[in-house]
Structure 1
Amino acid sequence: MTVTNVAALPDFKLIPYTDTQAHPDSHPKILRTSCWTYCGPLLPIDSARTSTLPPSYDTWQRATFNGSITPLLLPFLRFAHAFIVDAGLTHYWLTIRASLPTGDYDTPRWHTDDDFFAAADNSNTNISHDISRDSNRTQWKLATTLIGPGTLFLSDSASGRATQSTITDHTRASTPPHTCTTVACPGCAATADCIRQQLATSLKDAHIKQNAVGECAFFKVGKEVGAVHSEPAMRVPRVFVNVVPGREDELRGVMRRWGMEFPRAWSLPPEGMHVR
């Protein structure tokens, strides 16, 4: 697929990136829930060898799987790299999440993703423009599922955003004011759960699309144009890959805001992290 104007693309689009018949029927066993993340220039993937990826990926993979997911990963990365380069970008935030079965998403979590770069810290005087006010900043993502069910998308994003906005505004307006005393504030969590339950009820009959094996989801982020989506019910193991493309200064700003060096690769157990 040639990217001539990302802004002209729909809120979300499912794009085949590999022949489904070439996708192996069997796959490595997931041993534990965990994730691996890399932020920096596009990784070199010309070779099919695992050694072309950072050493931390190999370490994480050995600890997470009985076998290798690299043969499943590389076709998607090759597609994603071509798409990103075609859009005029050369850097990304790449996350691979392996998840064991869970009931956490039996109730859908309909939402739009935040604008990843809107709040980037631009205190570095070497950056000549304010990313948070840059209308040309990157406001889209790519994602796929290597193992397990794909992400759910509302077919009508505009209607979904309107429903989300109405329910969110009404619920927050009717919630008694409180002072957050912890990062994981119980009051905010209760409000978020109430919004989630109401959205699940309101959208239970909405038309839904779901990326299949060998399909990449392109989708926009942000409250105004973001695709409304949810994690699927995860009754089987799942491996999800999330790609946030960006300019080098955009990604450096995010990493600096979190006190992290750039480029960097790391792994985490994702307790408390949504898998999408």
Structure 2
Amino acid sequence: MTITSIPHLPDFKLLPYKLPQTATTTTETPPSSSEPPIKILRTSSWTYCGPLLDLPLSNDDDDDTDDSSLPSSYHTWHRATIRGKPLITLLKPFLLFAHEFIKSNGLQHYWLTIRASLSTSDFNTPRWHIDDDFFDRGSAANLNNSNSNHHSNSSTPGNITRTQWKLATTLLGPGTMFASNTSSARQTLKSVKTAVKNSSSSHTCTSIICLGCANLAECVRKALADELRHVEVVQSKDGECCFFKVGDGVGAVHSEPRMDGGERVFVNIVPGREEELREVMGKWGMEEWPRAWCLGVPAGFWEEDS
């Protein structure tokens, strides 16, 4: 799918990609007598920002487990987080597809995050939301105002537009939940936010770290869970990823699934131009390019690499 005009694209679309024949990524809980092929040891994430990773990504590769060209931080993260089958076996087919998809739309760089999660009840109440436009200074993320000549709305000055879409998949566990009627869900989200905010008009934010804002967000979350309790949900299956729009007014309404039934590995890709991504990293105090890092990995695993 080559993207030419964001307004005429679906808010989200499930896209199939080819799984390896040996893949066993079923979301069903395996029998207690059998060990799952991938075991998550801790909730953690690995992130990379830079050019599309230079991996041996041919479907004809004899060794699907070859991850030697990945950044060293990936191996540290994998050793600290994954047991059993190397994750590259499931990650490689998605990256094969994602790289071609991104290049076909005129881009060569991305922000790639792999998040592994232990079983948790944190999402038993859905967290319906729209992802912020990563490259819009006016969004809640408040990151930057770099412009791109790729795939956004027509309101950007000079007919230059930003990237306003993501690719995501789940390698293990249930897929992200998308509200099938996005237009209606967006309106519900907007009205609930307005109602909750109006009912808490005495709150005045004076700090970036604000418990009042956190309380409001939790009220919005609970109200949305109630309002959207009967919404029709679409979730990706094994061998499917999701293209979806981001940003107020056009973004897909989605939520993490319940994760109290097992472990999950989720992969999120934000494509963009080099200058866009460099500016985002610079605003977060990260000047090194390209860059890869982990969150949730104990210091002892880094010491083994030194």
| TM-score, scaled to structure 1 | 0.89
| Per-residue CA distance 1:221-240 (angstroms, 9 max, x = gap) | 00110000000000210000
C-alpha change, 1:137 and 1:197, in structure 2 (3 Å) is same
Query: Equivalent residue for 1:274?
Result: none
71, 94, 117: which is aligned to 1:76?
A: 94
Quote the residue 2:17 is aligned against. 17
1:259 is matched with 285
Q: Is 1:154 the counterpart of 2:179 in the alignment?
A: yes
**Any unmatched runs of 5+ in structure 1?**
271-276
What is the Cα deviation at residue 174 of structure 1?
1.6
Partner Cα separation in structure 2 for residue 219 and residue 28 of structure 1: 27
Q: How many residue pairs were aligned?
A: 265
| Greater CA drift, 191-200 or 176-185 | 176-185
1:45 aligns to 2:62 (yes or no): no
Q: Is the 8 A contact 2:19 2:93 kept in 1?
A: no
CA distance in 2: counterparts of 1:76 and 1:251, whole angstroms = 22
Q: Which moved further from structure 2: 253-262 or 72-81?
A: 253-262
**Aligned pair partner of 1:105 in 105, 115, 123:** 123
Report what 1:34 is aligned to.
Answer: 44
SS of the residue 1:168 aligns to: helix
C-alpha separation in 2, matches of 1:112 and 1:102: 22
Q: CA deviation at 1:59?
A: 1.1
Which residue matches 2:267?
Answer: 241
User: Which shifted more, 256-265 or 98-107?
Assistant: 256-265
**1:168 corresponds to which residue?**
193
Among candidates 82, 90, 95, match of residue 65 of structure 1? 82
Shift of 1:4: 4.6
Matched-pair identity in %: 56
Contact 1:16–1:216 (CA under 8 A) maintained in structure 2: yes
Question: Which is worse superposed, 19-28 or 113-122?
Answer: 19-28
Question: Corresponding residue for 2:4?
Answer: 5
Separation in 1 of the partners of 2:145 and 2:199? Answer: 36
Displacement of 1:170 in angstroms is 1.4
8 Å contact kept, 2:135–2:145: no
Give the whole-Å Cα distance in 1 for the aligned partners of 2:238 and 2:50.
Answer: 27
Q: Which residues of 2 match residues 220-231 of structure 1 at below 5 A? A: 220-231=245-256
Structure of greater Rg: 2
